[in-house]
Amino acid sequence: MFDLLKARLRQGHQTTKFRNESGQLPARFRGRPVLDESKCPEACRACADACPTLAIAIEPLRIDLGACLFCTECQEACPEGTIVYTPDHRLAARSRADLVVSGSEAKLATALDQNMRRLFGRSLKLRQVSAGDCSGCAAELTATGNLVFDLGRFGIQFVASPRHADGIVVTGPVTTNMEYALRETYAAVPAPKIVIAVGACAISGGPFAGAEASHGGVPADIPVDLYIPGCPPHPLTILDGLLRLLGRIDDGRRRV
Amino acid sequence: MARGFASPLWTKNGFAVARANVPDVPVSDFRKLCVEICSQDGRLAALCTLPARRQDPEEKPEILAVLADDARGSVGLLATRVPDNRRYPALSTELPQAQAFERELFEDHGIRPDGHPWLKPLRRHADLETRPGSGGEGAPAHPFFRVEGSSIHEVAVGPVHAGIIEPGHFRFQCSGETVHHLEIQLGYQHRGAEALLLKSSPARRLAVAESIAGDTSVGHALAYCAAIEALAGVEVPLYAHAMRGIALELERLSNHVGDLGALCNDIGYLPGASWFGRLRGEFLNLLMELSGNRFGRSLVKPGGVRFGISSEQRRNFLARLARAERDLRDTAQLTFNSPTVGSRFEHTGVVTREAAEALGLVGPVARASGCDRDVRRDHSFGIFRFVHIPVALVDSGDVMARALVRWLEIQRSKTFVREQLNELPQESLSVDIPRLAPESLAVSMVEGWRGEIVHVAVTSADGQLASYKIVDPSFHNWFGLTIALRGNQISDFPLCNKSFNLSYAGHDL
């Protein structure tokens, strides 16, 4: 017991104060890309050709963060330094269209309507469904609950049963073999409910888009309320997305 | 090893050989040789099909056995053509470690291993369902194994489990609390990774390799790159080898530390759960410092690595490593000295050495049962050809042994990372990849944190990838969990499962 207390004292308080500004992650961390199309040479499509998931379109230049793996192949292929991945972890958006980045502005997630916020704003229970994920996204969702990120302090919790949940969090490209279980889980959540797609796979299929035994993300008939991009997203990216959805973040400042 | 008849082509991990040099023997010799080699020093590292050879008059499917001889550090390649009726006598009857490979051959290629004891699909769930002629109306084509008796009850769990975890179905046959048999049905995570990899661009292939099992991104990326580099005939700069080694060991550290935390969590030992859980993050953060991603994605690329490490980063790294080391030592001491931990970990989920050998288990799970095997030593690759990490071996085969092997490996990997950081050579980060050699075959093996990762790449006449086989360590080890649970209490299942911590996606691909 004494040793336990000694170790506890030595390790100190480890939970991070939740600050949501950019710049708290290492310089190499690859977050939101910033594009400067004015630098693009005529008819150059080096970045688009280099992209493993075809996430880049040109004229005008734009990146679909829903498919982006943040691998920086495009940044390396670009002769002019048009694409720069910044260490800004804030990426989550409310619609598929808002995930498409052009220039340097970000269309970050907005809050749920007032009624939903009244229901879920201070207590949100989620059921995670792995549907072909490599376990990367699942690992980062688990990490949000550890003592560093401490998701519980915001009233958000992962629960065991869909019947106890207010919504589902889907990871993975949705394999043929998991589609039925995913639909059953979604149906078992009492309404009103929300759906959150986490990671490139759940949003667009990611690296597995076009794979024979998977669907390219959450099926179109299941409405998604929040997209959290990344491969996998950093725990701070997930926290940022969830808190924005609940209306507890406004322009980088937290409202409790 | 003098043999009366044909013998495999013996080569080394990470070398390419001409496809024509792989001996093609009759099925009976193939079976005899595989059984003979595996009953001596060998293991079946992979069993897969080969693409059709050029100007092949026969259309018979060809299968390849990759036999690992750990003591000699060599890899044996042996091929055979399955007769016209696509049937051959199963290896599994004499070689239990072939059971999953042969089920795979049957469901993916329609090659029937005659006499296989449990020829049930691994991944194709459509084939599990009722089919005409499968015995009565509504009967499934492949029912679960059942124990009969008035006091027997069945427990079904999954695919969606209570927690943030991958899907799989577990079927227990119990009397009271005691589990007599556990059958594990996987395949829910099957995405079609091998087929996708073949039809993808090189950049996409790397992304797919990194996503086979997300907690083993570095391990699978390394295996993929080593296969490509072998076929291209390039040698990677020493600096890149060192960086790859550091990343691979950081991956091992984060997962092993996380596993110790998860084991503590499953027995309600909360200081261990919280502190190991946090310390896992420290190693992920070091990987992020190195590669920009907590799982080390994009660090390894064919030909070398994408990022180096500056001297300032190196100092910062060493300081953080020392801090993590201190907290880890405290936490491990508390955990392993705690009687509550000992009483739950010891004698739980025992896998004997005989069972581990027969099933061909790999990685920490095998080493916890006294099987002295580690690819880093036996089939050394990359930096491990120059620097050796002692193999951690425990022989009690229980949950405690699997925890202890992890703790020993944590300490040794930390020492390795520290030494490498102090001795990094100054060289270029990568070399270019030329065209791949045509009609060649390369086997690359990597000791990932879960154990042996095997990639088998074969090229066509025009130097394109013609087939690609991936074996995640989980593919061998899932059956070990089944055996570990026999005679144990069903309430110990989560603990046993965590002590294996296998990948569903890696198995299902």
**CA atoms of A83 and A73, how far apart (whole Å):** 10
Would strands B304-305 and B300-301 be described as parallel, antiparallel, or unpaired?
Answer: antiparallel
In terms of Cα–Cα distance, which of B60, B59, B118, B67 is closest to B87?
Answer: B60
Q: Is B167 on the interface with A (CB under 8 A)?
A: yes
Q: How far is A244 from chain B (nearest CA, A)?
A: 22
Angle, in degrees to the nearest 10, between helices A136-143 and A235-245? 70
Q: Is A14 exposed, middle or buried (0-12, 13-18, 19+ CB in 10 A)?
A: middle
- Chain B residues touching A70 at Cβ < 8 A: 292-293, 298
**CA atoms of B409 and B32, how far apart (whole Å):** 37
What is the per-residue pLDDT for A10? 81
- B38 φ/ψ angles, rounded to the nearest 5 degrees: -75, -20
In terms of Cα–Cα distance, which of A91, A96, A92, A105 is closest to A35?
Answer: A105
- Chain B residues touching A186 at Cβ < 8 A: none
pLDDT in tens, A99-108: 998 887 778 8
Residues contacting residue A140 through CB under 8 Å, at least 6 positions apart: A232, A233, A234, A235, A238, B294
Question: What's the sign of the alpha-carbon dihedral B502, B320, B409, A4?
Answer: negative
**CA atoms of A100 and B244, how far apart (whole Å):** 33
**Using omega within 30 degrees of 0 as the cis cutoff, is the peptide bond preceding A207 cis?**
no
Q: How far is B275 from chain A (nearest CA, A)?
A: 8
Select the residue of B164, B203, B334 nearest A138 (Cβ to Cβ): B164
Judge whether B76 and B87 are in contact, CB under 8 Å: no
Strands (E), chain A: 33-35, 56-57, 62-64, 83-85, 100-101, 124-130, 156-158, 167-171, 194-198, 226-228, 249-250, 253-254
Of the candidate CATH numbers 3.40.50.1100, 1.10.645.10, 3.30.70.1290, 3.40.50.720, the domain formed by B193-508 belongs to 1.10.645.10
Q: For chain A, give the percent of residues with pLDDT over 70.
A: 96
> Do the Cβ atoms of A52 and B291 come within 8 Å?
no
> Do the Cβ atoms of B275 and A7 come within 8 Å?
yes
Alpha helices in chain A (DSSP H): 2-11, 46-50, 73-77, 114-120, 136-143, 176-188, 199-204, 235-245
Q: For chain A, give the percent of residues with pLDDT over 90.
A: 55
Q: How far apart are the first and last CA of chain A?
A: 37
Q: Is A134 on the interface with B (CB under 8 A)?
A: yes
**Mutation to test the B interface, candidates A2, A4, A5, A130, most B Cβ within 10 Å:** A130
Residue A37: pLDDT band (50, 70, 90) is: confident
In terms of Cα–Cα distance, which of A127, A16, A136 is closest to A69?
Answer: A136
Cα→Cα distances B213→A148, B101, B411, B505, Å: 25, 19, 24, 6
Cα→Cα distances B188→A198, B105, B122, B367, B507, Å: 18, 18, 10, 29, 10
With tokens 């050495």, the residue in question is B353
Residues contacting residue B373 through CB under 8 Å, at least 6 positions apart: B43, B70, B362, B366, B367, B391, B452
Tokens standing for residue B200: 């993808």
pLDDT greater than 90 at residue A22: no
Judge whether B253 and B332 are in contact, CB under 8 Å: no
> Do the Cβ atoms of A160 and B163 come within 8 Å?
yes
Per-residue pLDDT in tens (0 to 9) along chain B, 509 residues: 444 568 999 999 999 999 999 999 999 999 999 999 998 889 999 999 998 876 666 678 899 999 999 999 999 999 999 987 888 999 999 999 999 999 999 988 889 999 999 988 888 877 666 544 444 455 567 888 899 889 999 999 888 887 888 999 999 999 999 999 999 999 999 999 999 999 998 889 999 999 999 999 999 999 999 999 999 999 999 999 999 999 999 999 999 999 999 999 999 999 899 899 889 999 999 999 999 999 999 999 999 999 989 888 889 989 999 999 988 998 999 999 999 999 999 999 999 999 999 999 999 999 999 999 999 999 999 999 999 999 999 999 999 999 999 999 999 999 999 999 988 887 889 999 999 999 999 999 999 999 999 999 999 999 999 999 999 999 999 999 999 999 999 999 999 999 999 999 999 99
Residues contacting residue B57 through CB under 8 Å, at least 6 positions apart: none
Q: How far is B356 from chain A (nearest CA, A)?
A: 26
What is the per-residue pLDDT for A233? 96
Q: Is B297 on the interface with A (CB under 8 A)?
A: yes
Please identify among residues 170-229 of chain B the ones whose CB lies closer than 8 Å to any CB of chain A: 187-193, 195-196, 200-201, 203-204, 206-208, 210-215, 217
- What is the pTM (predicted TM-score) of this model? 0.92
With tokens 């008819």, the residue in question is A43
Angle, in degrees to the nearest 10, between helices A2-11 and B270-291? 30
What is the per-residue pLDDT for B57? 60
**Mutation to test the A interface, candidates B107, B124, B157, B160, most A Cβ within 10 Å:** B160
Between A41 and B66, where is the model more confident?
B66
Q: Residue type at B34? A: C
pLDDT greater than 80 at residue A21: no
> Do the Cβ atoms of A133 and B206 come within 8 Å?
no
Q: Is A187 on the interface with B (CB under 8 A)?
A: no
> Do the Cβ atoms of A28 and B275 come within 8 Å?
no
**CA atoms of B225 and B431, how far apart (whole Å):** 12
Assign domain A114-254 to a CATH class.
alpha beta
Tokens standing for residue B424: 């990094």
Q: What angle do CA B67, B70, B72 make, to 5 degrees?
A: 100
- Chain A residues touching B211 at Cβ < 8 A: 134, 136, 201, 206-208, 231
pLDDT greater than 50 at residue A57: yes
Tokens standing for residue A144: 């949000």
Which residue of chain B comes nearest to A217, CA vs CA?
Answer: B191
Please identify among residues 488-507 of chain B the ones whose CB lies closer than 8 Å to any CB of chain A: 503-505
Tokens standing for residue A63: 């990146």
Residues contacting residue B276 through CB under 8 Å, at least 6 positions apart: B257, B258, B260, B261, B262, B264, B328, B331, B335
Would strands A156-158 and A124-130 be described as parallel, antiparallel, or unpaired?
Answer: parallel
> Residue B371: left (phi > 0), alpha (psi -120 to 50), or beta?
beta
pLDDT in tens, A119-142: 888 899 999 999 999 999 999 999
With tokens 């595996």, the residue in question is B38
Select the residue of A11, A85, A134 nearest B214 (Cβ to Cβ): A134
Q: Is A181 on the interface with B (CB under 8 A)?
A: yes
**CA atoms of B92 and B114, how far apart (whole Å):** 10
DSSP 8-class letter at B29: H
Longest dimension (CA), chain B: 71
Tokens standing for residue B68: 């690992």
Average pLDDT of chain A is 89
Q: Residue type at B160? A: V
DSSP 8-class letter at B206: H
Judge whether A14 and A147 are in contact, CB under 8 Å: yes
What is the per-residue pLDDT for A251? 60
What is the per-residue pLDDT for B58? 64
A-B contacts at Cβ under 8 angstroms: 185
Please state which CATH number belongs to domain B9-122. 3.30.460.80
